[in-house]
Amino acid sequence: KQEVTQIPAALSVPEGENLVLNCSFTDSAIYNLQWFRQDPGKGLTSLLLIQSSQREQTSGRLNASLDKSSGRSTLYIAASQPGDSATYLCAATGANSKLTFGKGITLSVRP
């Protein structure tokens, strides 16, 4: 059974700082790895999707990497802004497009 872990559960940084969010998974037989953003009281918004054959994906100030062999993914946020404050969840996609989510990291960017 796939298990996805995100540590720490919460992170607070000053505005402008570059930061890395970590995600680990136990079963390397994944189709892809996704990073989602969740704002309070809202649903999930997909940020980046990395296929199992890829090593990284970039979108604006966000860069996600994937190392299947070690069961790790990272989300890099450059020049963080207060508007980046949210909960970030990673999810590993297994057979039948089933997503297994981590518990998320709640990020607070201080002005």
Partner 1 sequence: EAGVVQSPRYKIIEKKQPVAFWCNPISGHNTLYWYRQNLGQGPELLIRYENEEAVDDSQLPKDRFSAERLKGVDSTLKIQPAELGDSAVYLCASSPWDSQETQYFGPGTRLLVL
- Residues in the site for partner 1, rule: CB under 8 A? 4, 9, 31-32, 34, 36, 41-46, 49, 89, 91, 93, 96-104
CA angle 63, 83, 7 (to 5 degrees): 55
Q: First-to-last CA distance in the chain? A: 41
Instruction: Confirm if 30 and 92 have CB atoms less than 8 A apart.
Output: yes
* Cβ distance to partner 1 smaller for residue 63 or 100: 100
CB of 60 to partner 1, least distance (A): 18
- In the complex with partner 1, the residue whose CB is nearer, 41 or 83, is 41
Q: Smallest gap, in angstroms, from Cβ of residue 93 to partner 1?
A: 6
For residue 17 the two structure tokens come to 């700082």
**What is the Cα Rg of the chain in Å?**
13
Nearest distance from residue 111's CB to partner 1, in Å? Answer: 26
